[in-house]
Structure 1
């Protein structure tokens, strides 16, 4: 089939394009720069120059396509409110509008468990988990609003919309989470929150791609599906192994969770009120996502999609070492 991908130059997007090409699909990918165009071309897709603000580029890219995978988003912990809404909410709406106009059959949206930050602790969450009234942070807020629009668009003009929510995406080629952790370790800023001895769900990028392809084929319209590598693992133990696979020794420093929360609250307030340049050294949303247990249940994806999560953590770590 013909598939259009947003976010194709990103960590998930590039692996997805490679998988689509391997199975014989024709792939186009949105590219907002020469660098992004080169990345998607190298992965095997035809670049379509433009961004999520460009309705004409979206229309051109989706013309004749049967499926769309929307992976593009502003994935940051701090920044202008306008940017988060423009990209994550309004950009998603433009993708939906273009897909409906192009008579695309299915759109799969990459969601996140982060949309639940600000509510009750995310422990063994399933797809019925309630969104908080006041999400903590602009990324959780806007990703929740984007997913709401995606699911509401199901059935409009024959479009089937499906959401997948992978937790803690990792693997070789990660351009966001692990590099940031390594940078903080090397600068001496990294501390284990509360010792780091709590459970976390994870999802290797290959398993994210597996879930995306299955959702495209079998996902029920208007539904969301969590994806993981299987049973949870201790956060500190897993991050230590990822650092080791990257040739970096894990630090020993710790900070009590209550102290970290106070520091993050003070820092965010100072950066908003003064305001200060850059971003706060600590964020309350980040503490909620990696400073305490976050576990999700992917039983629905396994039962309805036939999702397995073929890439094991051991294999994924070995791939990183290689």
Structure 2
């Protein structure tokens, strides 16, 4: 297949591209800078220059491809509403391009915001719908495109997609701990985060893409897959591992004080975000093999003195 990938030089995309190329797929990746373009080319993909706001470029990339894997997102949590509007516009563009073609549209989503009182499963409906919802209500919008002859798949990633070089949520927590002089958790720290190792997540994207492209009435395409290896790691254990790595004390922060201590991270680190991947594993034969989150935090990869 010829696959058009956004977020091609990002944390997940830069692992997905070699996975796809190694499996014999041709990949074209979106890149907004010379550095990103170089990284995409070095991973074996062709490059299209542009940004997520360049809807004409995105339309052309989808028109020329057999499938789209949309992994890009504007991760600016100070302008989250604007990021959501961009996400919705991007998905609308891809749906229009793929309309009636039965081509796959895989897109990054997450388990955060889906509450059920238990570990979230692939059958749980994302309640964030409509253009003003977080991420522009993109999951609900894209999954509805099956009625337009598109094959959408929500790639629900765990809150922590971890590994050497990670600069996401867990790495942000290490920087907050360094700044505050303590590795902290919220309340009693019993709330949990699902986690997955980066290469396991990339392999799942490939498996989901191939299953969707090959789907038949007897073997229908998945609609939601969970990139989750660990159902839930207690946040107090995450904080303890960060404390050991940095040689800092570990403390509890009262929920009312979490925003002052963690800033924008408070709403995520204070949330209970467990998730299951039972159906994903059964449907796609996916078996995570990478290290656990706490195994990763036992190495020095998260504790570099300078920001990455």
TM-score by length of 2: 0.81
**Can you list the C-alpha shifts for 1:101-150, whole angstroms capped at 9, x where unaligned?**
8x47211111111243xxx5653122343544799xx8xx3326111111
Contact between 2:231 and 2:275, CA under 8 Å: does it hold in 1? Answer: no
Query: By how many angstroms is 1:210 displaced?
Result: 1.9
- Structure 1: give runs of 5+ residues left out of the alignment: 268-279
Q: Using a 3 Å threshold, how does the CA distance of structure 1 residues 320 and 207 change in structure 2: closer, same or farther?
A: farther
Q: Unpaired segments of 5 or more residues in structure 2?
A: 213-219, 302-308
Match of 1:273 in 2: none
Q: Give distance in 2, aligned partners of 1:295 and 1:213.
A: 24
Assess if the C-alpha contact under 8 Å between 2:119 and 2:231 holds in 1: no
- Residue equivalent to 1:188: 180
Contact 1:59–1:99 (8 Å) recurs in 2:
no
- Which residue, 261, 264, 280 being the options, matches 1:301? 280
Partner of 1:213: 206
Shift in alpha-carbon separation, 1:315–1:197, aligned structure 2, 3 A: closer
2:194 and 2:231 in contact (8 A); partners too: yes
Equivalent in the alignment of 1:154: 146
Tell me the equivalent position of 2:216.
Answer: none
| DSSP-derived class of the 1:15 partner | helix
Q: Against the structure 1 CA distance between its residues 318 and 290, is the aligned structure 2 distance closer, same or farther, given a 3 Å change threshold?
A: closer
Residue deviations 1:3-34 (CA, integer Å, cap 9, x gap): 11001111000000111122222111111222
SS in 2 for 1:191: strand
1:255 alignment counterpart: 253
CA contact (8 A) 1:6 1:70 kept: yes
CA contact (8 A) 1:160 1:221 kept: yes
Query: Cα 1:222–1:254, aligned 2, differ >3 Å: closer, same or farther?
Result: same
Compute the displacement of 1:294 (Å). 1.6
2:77 is equivalent to residue 84 of structure 1: no
1:60-95 per-position Cα deviation (integer Å, ceiling 9, x unaligned): 3234422211111123432163x2233221122122
Tell me the SS of whatever aligns to 2:5.
Answer: strand
Contact 2:63 2:97 in 1 (8 A): no
Go from structure 1 to structure 2 and tell me whether the alpha carbon gap of 1:122 and 1:203 turns closer, same or farther (over 3 Å shift): farther
Q: How many residue pairs get matched?
A: 291
SS of residue in 2 equivalent to 1:202: strand
Alpha-carbon distance in structure 1 between the residues aligned to 2:80 and 2:238: 32
Residue 305 of structure 2 is matched in structure 1 by: none
> C-alpha separation between the residues in 2 aligned to 1:7 and 1:122?
32
TM-score (norm 1): 0.78
| Separation in 2, partners of 1:255, 1:64 | 51
Paired residue for 2:194? 201
More strand by share: 2
How many Å apart are 1:191 and its aligned residue?
2.6
1:282 maps to 2:263: yes
Note if contact 1:107-1:162 (Cα within 8 Å) is conserved in structure 2: yes
**In structure 1, what is the Cα distance between the partners aligned to 2:104 and 2:4?**
11
- CA shift, 1:154, in A, is 1.7
